Amino acid sequence: MSIWEYANPVKFMRTSGAVLPWLVGATAICLPAGLIWGWSVPEDYKQGATVKIMFLHVPSAMMAINIWVMMLVASLIWLIRRHHVSALAARAAAPIGAVMTVVALVTGAVWGQPTWGTWWEWDPRLTSFLILLLFYLGYMALWSAIENPDSAADLTGVMCLVGSVFAFLSRYAAHFWNQGLHQGSTISVAPGDRISSVYSYPLYTCMLGFFLLFVTLLLIRTRTEIRRRRTAALLAREMRA
Amino acid sequence: MIAELGRHAAPVLAAWSISGVLIVGLIAQTLVAASRARRALEKVERRG
């Protein structure tokens, strides 16, 4: 069995329909569990109760970047192999990524005020995140502005390639320039924990919850896009008849 | 529970409530759009 079989909309609808109830259940357990656990952690000795913002800020920022990477992969599959489901999946992911980016920016600003003494700073990571949000908005606007779906998929695919620079910078800006207010990675595979297990376990649970929420919403939105495309095709056939 | 947040109650509550509204809004918009698309397709398929 090849993965390319799922590029067939009928096969995709059948498989995603079977998987969705399980994903909804897993998300409904994992996300609230992570958030409740995150809300109930003790105050940090330095940041006080503002540490609770981390359980929204870090997972949403992680998803904002990774959703763009997913869109990049889906766009490349469209540009190279012309599988329609991948183009529709990229389109379906964009609003989720945009909301995650807004959540990351807003929680970052609200967290920054008591921690750094400012809501906003033209720091490399913050600025690249703002540009990433503008790319998300531009990507969605471009899809809506072009009538021919194949042309829209082509142009948004190219835009996704360009925007990947900022998704990459959002992740690594703090390492490249080593300046600005934003710290480096909260979670690292390098030896030496940067975060106590009191905070890391609920954080991992929130990250898993956000990931499951994304996959669930992505499948629902991709199914919606496929249905809209099918409706448009049937209406066009009716008009010709 | 809010009293436990001490002097940081305002930023913590603001961050959680804004994020909650955005995420719940995204879920609601996704479900409404999915329901509309399903009904529109069923309507066209019934006609044909």
The widest CA-to-CA distance across chain B, in whole angstroms, is: 64
Strand partners, A48: A44
Rg (CA), chain B: 20
pLDDT tens-digit profile of A93-131?
999 999 999 999 999 999 988 888 888 888 888 888 999
> Taking CB atoms and an 8 Å cutoff, what residues of chain A touch B4?
49
Residue A14 lies in a domain: yes
CA-closest candidate to residue A68, choices A145, A134, A163? A163
User: In total, how many domains does chain A have?
Assistant: 1
- Residue A185, domain member (yes or no): no
Q: What is the DSSP letter of A196?
A: -
pLDDT tens figures, B1-48: 555 777 888 899 999 999 999 999 999 999 999 999 999 999 999 986
For chain A, counts of helices (H) and of strands (E): 6, 0
Nearest residue of chain A to residue B14 (CA atoms)? A110
pLDDT value for B38: 97
Going through chain A in order, the beta strands assigned E by DSSP cover none
Whether residue A210 lies inside any domain: the answer is yes
Alpha-carbon gap, residue A40 to A43, rounded angstroms? 9
Q: How far apart, in whole angstroms, are the C-alpha atoms of residue A110 and residue A124?
A: 18
Contact A228 B40 (CB under 8 A): yes
What is the rounded CA–CA span in Å between residue A34 and residue A201?
9
Interface contact A111-B11, CB threshold 8 A? yes
Count CA within 13 A, CB hemisphere, residue B6. 10
Token reading at A217:
């919403």
Best mutation target, A46, A234, A238, to test chain B (most B CBs within 10 A)? A234
The answer to pTM > 0.80 is: yes
What is the model's pLDDT at position B25? 98
**Could you tell me if residue A184 is inside a domain?**
no
Single out the residue of A67, A87, A88, A65 nearest to residue A77, CA to CA: A87
Inside any domain, residue A188? no
User: Is A147 part of a structural domain of the chain?
Assistant: yes
Q: Which residues of chain A have pLDDT under 70?
A: 1, 171, 173-193
* Domain carrying residue A8: 3-179+198-240
ipTM (interface predicted TM): 0.92
**Binary contact (A227, B11; C-beta < 8 A):** no
Q: Is A189 a domain residue?
A: no
Residue A99 inside a domain? The answer is yes
User: Of A4, A3, A8, A219, whose CA–CA distance to A93 is shortest?
Assistant: A219
